[in-house]
Structures are given as C-alpha cells and as structure tokens.
C-alpha cells in the first residue's frame, strides 16, 4: 500500500477533510469526480479528473472512495473487474489499513459517540432505534470523557468524532465534552462532528466554544426544518463553524435499519453478502466497548436487544498487548469475524426508506 499512488474519488466536503487529515502522510495523484464542472479544475491543490481519464492508469493507481454512500461507485469498480481492498478502497477501510502498514499506528476514520437518546422529533423510520426504546436519557459528560480517555489508551488517532443518536444539542454538557476533547487530544483527532436536525440554536457563547474545539455541524435534511436550519447555518457562519448536509441516496430518502427485535430469516451466505455490501461507516463507543458497527451499538444502547458475540466489538478495558493490538486492528479495519458477518446483521434490514413523522 505504501508504494502505490492513489486517486481520491469525490471532490466534495468529505474529500476535502480527508486530504487535510492525511496531508502529512499521503498526497493524492488526482481526484475523480463525475461533476463536469469540477473536472479540469484544482481541488485542494490536487487536479480533478473524470473516471474515463483515470481508467488509463488503473489498477496501477489505486482508488480511495471518499463518499458518504459509496455503493454506486463500489459496484461500478467491481463490475469493471477491480478488487476491493486491493485495487480500490472505501475510505473507512483505507485509513486504518494505510496507517497500520505505514508504522503500525491504529487510526480510525470515524467514531460515533452518543450524547443522548432523547430526540425532539418522532420519526417512524429512525436510524438509531429511538422509537423502540422505552426509556431515554442524556449521557453524562463524565462517562463520555471516560470512554474517550480509555479509547485513546489504545487508538493513536481519529479523523472524526461523531456525536449522534438523538438530538445531540439537547445535552447541555455537549460544549464541555467538545472542549475536553480539544484540550486533551487536539493533535490526535481531526474534527468533532455534531449531527443535528437543526431545530435548536445554541447561544453565541456556546457556538464560540464549539468553534474553538474544531467542531463541524452536520444537518439532517428534513424539509420541514429548513427555516430553523438556515438560522443555525447563519450562526455557524458567524462563528466560523463548518457545516454540511447529511444526505441519503437521491436526497429524498432517509435511512432505516429496521426493527432490531426481529431476527430476519437469512442464510449465512446472505448475511455475509449483507455485511460485505454494507456502506455504513461503522464504529462507535458505548459503555467502554468499541463496536465494529455503530448500528449495533445503538440497538444495545436504546433498545438493549441482542448480545455481543466474539468479533462484534472490542473491550477497551483489556490491557494492550501485541495480540490485542492485532485484534483491535482487525476491528478498526472492519474485517468481519470468522462467520463473515456480525450478530447484528441478523436484525438489520439495511434498506433505504422514506422517513415518516408520526
């Protein structure tokens, strides 16, 4: 991996953050993008080219897909005869593998952290199973800080901390948590991402604290919230806070993993196929466990269903040895356990459905 040249696929906000995060370790040869207006331009000091231009030097130059939903590009490359994790990589798999090969560092693209299981919206098709839960609560700053401290005893660096599950801005301790991460680990992470439905507009002093802790806002594209989202965007711009929209598929759909209480009737082959094709970025920290699948973490947190099987998650309380370090690398590089899937795959429909407000 270290002696190869790489194309990055995606000249957007996501690609920009990846180039910035890896700038001291890897310079991409070019960025591939399907947008005709971007082709022939310069993106973050890197030329933008079309896939047709890139094909002449593939697979000698490897491709790293920097898209929130990489399924379409992944299928295109597989259909063209390219092999995943050899000729091309999805960014969540690429980052841990690249740094492990480079200097045995344990580096994660993104780790989700729950700040709360409380939400002020009532979506029937909820990504994080909130409607299924009976009781909900805010996570304490103390418990979240403890999880982050513990994680950094094992992990060398993280590109993104991602606060999600309920409406994170409902937790009044969130500014303290973001400040703590910055004050203690500023050189070991790229950004803190706060996922929000845009209905809450923090006061200016809070926004300034977010600005000082390398925080970005990710807005869920609920059309009924667009007016309040626009007002929050104004606050972000005022305080020099980066922001972006979370979009799914054709941007009219939202994400639904189904009801985790239901064991789907799928063969082992089908479960392995589901796990292999899953586009979700993966990892989460919940109660001192690092989960290979964030969706499984949320099902345990909110609905408390299912059990942890070997390979599903890593116990951050165990001492770090050469053996456990190798085990953790397999987890963060998203290599499925021996079965080829994790236990949560049996409960996860992994489909795109229109979200519904009750």
Scanning 213-315, the segments in alpha helix (DSSP H) are 226-238, 268-277, 294-298
pLDDT values of the chain reduced to their tens digit, one per residue, 358 residues: 677 899 999 999 889 999 999 999 999 999 999 999 999 999 999 999 999 999 999 999 999 999 877 888 999 999 999 999 999 999 999 999 999 999 999 999 999 999 999 999 887 667 777 777 778 899 999 999 999 999 999 999 999 999 988 999 999 999 999 999 999 999 999 999 999 999 999 999 999 999 999 999 999 878 888 999 999 999 999 999 999 887 644 444 555 555 556 667 788 998 888 887 776 667 999 889 999 888 888 877 776 565 677 667 899 999 989 999 998 998 888 887 888 888 888 777 655 444 555 4
Write the pLDDT tens digit of every residue in 218-275: 998 788 889 999 999 999 999 999 998 876 444 445 555 555 566 677 889 988 888 8
The span from the CA of 304 to the CA of 309, in Å, is 14
In whole angstroms, give the CA distance from residue 156 to residue 184.
Answer: 13
Q: Are 110 and 158 in contact (CB under 8 A)?
A: yes
In sequence order, what are the residues at sequence separation of 6 or more whose Cβ sits closer than 8 angstroms to the Cβ of residue 113? Answer: 144, 147, 148, 161, 162, 163, 164, 284, 285
Q: How far is CA 12 from the centre of its chain?
A: 16
The DSSP secondary-structure symbol of 24 reads: T
pLDDT tens per residue across span 152-195: 999 999 999 999 889 999 999 999 999 999 999 999 999 999 99
| pLDDT for position 279 | 66
* Integer Cα distance of 152 and 285 in angstroms: 12
Phi, psi of 141 (to 5 degrees): -60, -40
What integer pLDDT is reported at residue 250 of this predicted model?
Answer: 42
Q: What is the model's pLDDT at position 280?
A: 66
Q: Provide DSSP, 89-141.
A: EEHHHHHHHHHHHHHS--EEEEEEEEEES--S--BSS-TT-GGG-S---BPPH
- Spatial CA neighbour of 286 closest among 159, 97, 129, 98: 129
Helix, strand, coil percent content, the chain, rounded in steps of 5 = 35, 20, 40
Contact (CB, 8 A) for 205 and 182: no
198, 225 in Cβ contact below 8 A?
yes
Quote the pLDDT of residue 261. 60
List the one residue out of 148, 149, 107 whose CA is nearest residue 18: 107
Mapping DSSP to helix (H, G, I), strand (E, B) and coil, where does residue 84 land? strand
Report helix, strand or coil for 193.
strand
Residue with the two structure tokens 């909820």: 126
Q: In a 3-state reduction of DSSP, which class is residue 157? A: strand
Q: Which residues pair with 46 in a beta bridge?
A: 43
Q: Is the dihedral of CA 35, 38, 44, 50 positive or negative?
A: positive
pLDDT of residue 358: 45
**Quick one: which of 195, 190, 158, 177 has its CA closest to 298?**
195
State how far the Cα of 112 lies from the Cα of 298, in Å rounded to an integer.
10
> Could you give all domains of the chain from N- to C-terminal order, each with its CATH number?
6-101 (3.40.50.720), 106-353 (3.20.20)
pTM over 0.75: yes
Starting at the earlier edge strand, list the strands of the sheet with 62-65. 42-43, 46-49, 30-32, 6-9, 62-65, 88-90
Q: What is the chain's Cα-based Rg?
A: 20
On whether the CB atoms of residues 356 and 122 are closer than 8 A, the answer is no
Angstrom distance (rounded) from CA 70 to CA 24: 25
Identify the CA nearest to 291 among candidates 114, 141, 138: 114
């Amino acid at each position: 991996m270290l002696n190869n040249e790489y194309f990055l696929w995606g000249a957007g906000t996501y690609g920009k953050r990846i180039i910035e995060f890896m700038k001291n370790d890897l310079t991409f040869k070019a960025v591939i993008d399907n947008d005709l207006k971007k082709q022939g331009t310069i993106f973050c000091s890197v030329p933008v080219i079309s896939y047709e231009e890139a094909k002449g030097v593939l697979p000698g130059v490897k491709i790293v897909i920097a898209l929130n939903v990489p399924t379409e590009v992944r299928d295109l490359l597989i259909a063209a005869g390219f092999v995943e994790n050899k000729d091309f990589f999805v960014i969540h798999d690429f980052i841990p593998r690249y740094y492990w090969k480079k200097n045995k560092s344990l580096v994660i693209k993104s780790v989700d952290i729950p700040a709360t299981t409380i939400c002020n919206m009532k979506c029937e098709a909820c990504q994080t199973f909130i409607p299924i839960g009976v009781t909900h609560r805010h996570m304490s700053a103390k418990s979240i800080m403890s999880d982050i401290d513990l994680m950094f005893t094992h992990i060398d660096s993280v590109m993104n901390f991602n606060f999600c599950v309920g409406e994170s801005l409902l937790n009044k301790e969130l500014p303290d948590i973001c400040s703590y991460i910055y004050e203690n680990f500023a050189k070991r992470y790229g950004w803190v991402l706060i996922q929000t439905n845009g209905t809450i507009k923090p006061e200016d002093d809070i926004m300034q604290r977010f600005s000082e802790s390398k925080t970005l806002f990710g807005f869920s594209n609920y059309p009924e919230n667009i007016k309040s989202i626009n007002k929050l965007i104004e606050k972000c711009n005022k305080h020099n806070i980066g922001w972006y929209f979370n979009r799914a598929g054709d941007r009219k759909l939202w994400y639904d993993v189904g009801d985790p209480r239901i064991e789907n009737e799928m063969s082992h082959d089908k479960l392995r196929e589901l796990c292999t094709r899953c586009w979700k970025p993966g990892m989460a920290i919940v109660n001192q466990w690092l989960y290979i699948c964030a969706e499984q973490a949320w099902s345990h947190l909110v609905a408390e269903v299912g059990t942890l099987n070997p390979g599903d998650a890593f116990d951050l309380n165990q001492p770090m040895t050469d053996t456990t370090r190798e085990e953790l690398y397999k987890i963060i590089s998203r290599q499925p356990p021996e079965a080829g899937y994790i236990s949560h795959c049996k409960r996860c429909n992994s489909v795109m459905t229109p979200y519904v407000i009750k």
